A and B are shown apart, each in its own frame.
Chain A
């Protein structure tokens, strides 16, 4: 299958599963303030990284146009399954061969922009780049879903007592 056919098929798929998200976008007056998928995205600055000399490099913090939008988060939940994210990260992002995405601890940073970059461009150790298939809007929809997951209390201690 040629790349262009793959892309068309995936785009169609995305259109099908994201109808709810698009409806939700339509309700919001301002359109997303993000560049279209075809332009180069600005470099993101990682707040969690150490900066040599204490001077962080130039870089933008991307803004999630759907931050806190429950309807978009709901669409993202459908997308999470439809794009097979659950196949590696488990149902509800609870972790499988890929890391847990619900626990509130993040390998590559948990800010919206950092999660966006992880999904859009992929990561080492086999996280595929979904930006080509989902585009900017699709990735923000997933980010919105992941950020909406209820954070369990972070309990660093697991205790078995003296039984």
Chain B
């Protein structure tokens, strides 16, 4: 396929800024207490704050007012919490928890908690030693340790209340995800899609940490907590789909990890989470749809009962994890009110689903896509492009878009503003070659089977930050960036959106047009997620981590400086990232 034909399939670029006349201001959600108590701000995972002291008129005067070195070099994904007059920060491994006193000048620590965490976890993590943040509930800070534990720490004293082993590093499981707490249940899952795990999600008791239920994300119905009378997937019928869709019992090592963010709808009493890639990356070792890898699952928190599931990428050929955030928003589509779930997938499509049933209402490419032409709304299945399917027998398949970093990384959660009705997300503009090879399952070692060098996507840029209308499936504006964009998004009632870049700029932009209002070089690349809060002094602040990491620290081996025995050549597709940044964890706070 010629390069021109290749990119004829690509999504068209966004319309010019400011063309969205219908985006009139609407009602503000009733009140915002100025705290940020859960990873994605609210159960709907909107990352939207009702605070409006910082506006698109005055954001140009944003400037840093405080910084703190975390003393840790790994990728600083995730985000702080602000509860009352305290800010809580969890670092990458070794997963230190800091509690800052926001009432005193210089924000001194009230305490710090240093759990004992096995160093073996470093080698069992596929993609850097990250942590996606804590959750506050019932006076406790709850978060996961990389070596497979969940801890609850007294938010006031810093004392450890309980510590539960949830994952087994010997099986290739580590834990990087942000937990979700609903009532008395702590929902947690494990990474390990590159180690052939048998993926799962668990519900722990908030008071004691004891495991109440465990549900597999694949395998027989009995393991998945799927009962035929209550499990109603919108497009599939039959029992044990999580086992019958894997040839030769390959579900036993089929991956489907949980490493992103979870959302929850109190009315439906359902929580929503995405599962990661099918293992191994060579798809010919696991023929079939491989349900429910690369899927979204809806369960009841009390007992983990599975209610529906939808697979974004059947028989994943490309490492297209679906662990990205599931944002719950009430939209108007074709004049009809819809309780929607909106998801930007690694596979390059943005999906708008009915969150009660799991049916797809809309699926449009938001980044260059050529592995599929479209998503069939009658079947929910992608219409595949035959020349972009992979496997050992197909040799080196060239020029697949997106790359396995995704049209967006699941590490980079989007935001939704009920004022603009727009979704805001980082994206990557990368494609890849994909040469699959036979993978050997050897417990506790990687189970991958691919060589997949990346290629810059079309257009001369590697990432964007963009605004998306999920009711129409349309890009409204985008800011192009010279490097893949890997931070989460934040949007506020001041109609200001925030994001950071891999080369270390933290930016505020007009949420309606994308116009950059302020930018500041924060010392290291941003792969974390900005938050905003009202401090005890009554003022609005914005906080974000700097700290290059995740896949980028691994790919661009010349961005580290701490190990004189580990000196690597730069990655050929982003040759000068180390000119602009190196690793290092810093917490930044900005205000007017």
Contact = CB atoms under 8 A, between A and B. Distances in A.
**A and B interact:** yes
A128 B445 CA distance: 8
Interface residues of B, number: 36
Interface of B: 119-128, 194, 437, 439-440, 442-448, 451, 554, 557-558, 563-570, 576, 578-579
Nearest to A160: B579
Interface of A: 1, 6, 10, 13, 81-84, 86-88, 91, 94-100, 103, 105-107, 124-128, 133, 152, 154, 156, 158, 160
Max count, chain B CB within 10 A of own CB: residue among A82, A84, A124, A133:
A84
A100 B445 CA distance: 17
Contacts of B447: 84, 87
A100 B567 contact: yes
B397 to A, nearest CB: 17
B451 A91 contact: yes
A143 B448 CA distance: 23
Contacts of B123: 88, 97-98, 125-128
A125 B442 contact: no
7 contacts: A84-B440, A86-B446, A88-B446, A94-B568, A97-B125, A97-B554, A99-B565
A87 B446 contact: yes
- Chain B interface main SS type: loop
A87 B448 contact: yes
B128 A83 contact: no
Contacts of B451: 91
B558 A95 contact: no
Contacts of B121: 126
Nearest to B169: A126
Given A126-B120, A126-B124, A158-B558, A83 B566 contact: no
A110 to B, nearest CB: 9
Q: Which of B125, B447, B569 has the most CB of A within 10 A?
A: B569
Contacts of B194: 87
Nearest to B445: A84
A6 B443 CA distance: 9
Contacts of B448: 84, 87
B425 to A, nearest CB: 26
Contact of B119 (A10, A81, A126): A126
Given A87-B194, A95-B568, A128 B125 contact: no
A94 B128 CA distance: 16
B125 to A, nearest CB: 6
Given A6-B443, A126-B124, A81 B566 contact: no
Closest 10 CB pairs of A and B: A126-B123, A87-B446, A84-B445, A105-B565, A125-B122, A107-B565, A126-B120, A84-B446, A99-B566, A126-B122
A99 B442 contact: no
A45 to B, nearest CB: 20
B442 A81 contact: no
